[in-house]
Amino acid sequence: FAGVIVLLLFHFQRFAVFQCQMAEINTDQAAFEALPELTLANESLWELSENGVAKIPNHKWCPSSKCTVSNICKPCDRKFLIIMSVGRGASTTLTWMMDQLPGVRMAGENNDLLKKVHDTLSETVYHPIFMGEAGRKGSSWGHNKIQRGTVACAVQHIFETINQPLPQDIDDKETIIGFKTVRFHENITMKNLSKYVQFVKESFPCARIIVNIRSDVEALTASIKKQKWSKGVETSLISAEAKLGLSNLKQIAKLFGEQAILLDSTKWTKNVDEINRVVDWLGFESTCHFKEIMELNTNGRARGGQVNNEMSVTCKYAS
């Protein structure tokens, strides 16, 4: 009986410790959410203006970014351009048109890597037990506390690694790194949609998001129906999924706010001015305007149609 009492006391003590740890996590989370737009762990890391206020890097690209800065991670140092698109919505053409802009290096799809990285971190770094053991050396899960905002640099490095510069491009820090995803909005509830968007905001605080839809659901359904992977699938089911995807992408654009722009391939594939509206929104000068729409991954071919669009020699990012 005495042994049972001791065992119960032991588990009660462990439960009490765990409750305290979770309370600490919740307190830290509340403090994190209340952080100002720029938190300086070490002001010597940043160039200071005359009045002593730190200058946020790349503020023209991400004027409303919230960057948590530490001595090991400055997540706003790298600019990103992310295209979140419906499949069969001319996203390949859009991706490589953006790649034509000076200082932009785009990459294609990556098998829904954004959500997969989020899910991996949720089961590891953000696991309640792992977080609860922060700063507790000697325990089975023990480790030093992870500074706020530092995980963002690890996430960014994954996407930098799979979209590397050419060997001769040594100085790459000013390059805008971009990629597209056509699965971010798929197989997801509205609640989880908000969670994933928040993850992108925190991991890529200095990113611009192009949300690309195809509002003509009938044409989208017909295009999907032609693909080998949709063989045998009922047209009504394809149409229903297309409508859900359209709704999810519109919601994603709203959740990102001024960090995102909504683009409709039903319109921009017929009117280059729609693409140039994005060029202006990104901050490039009018000399970077496209004269015609490129055409890639059309009619089931990896390449087809107009695949190159020479930019003006005076094209540059607005100073």
- Using the CB atoms, write b or e for 75-105: b if 16+ within 10 Å: bbebbbbbbbbbbbbbbbbbbbbbebbeebb
CB of 297 closer than 8 Å to CB of 94: no
What local confidence, expressed as pLDDT, does residue 35 receive? 37
Q: How confident is the model at residue 3 (pLDDT cuts 50, 70, 90)?
A: low
CB of 284 closer than 8 Å to CB of 251: no
Q: Which tens digit of pLDDT belongs to each residue from 43-67? A: 333 444 444 444 568 889 998 887 8
What local confidence, expressed as pLDDT, does residue 149 receive? 87
CB of 84 closer than 8 Å to CB of 184: yes
What local confidence, expressed as pLDDT, does residue 13 receive? 53
What local confidence, expressed as pLDDT, does residue 93 receive? 96
Q: Which tens digit of pLDDT belongs to each residue from 111-150? A: 999 999 999 999 999 999 999 999 998 999 999 999 888 9
Residue type, 204: F
How high is the mean pLDDT of the chain?
A: 84
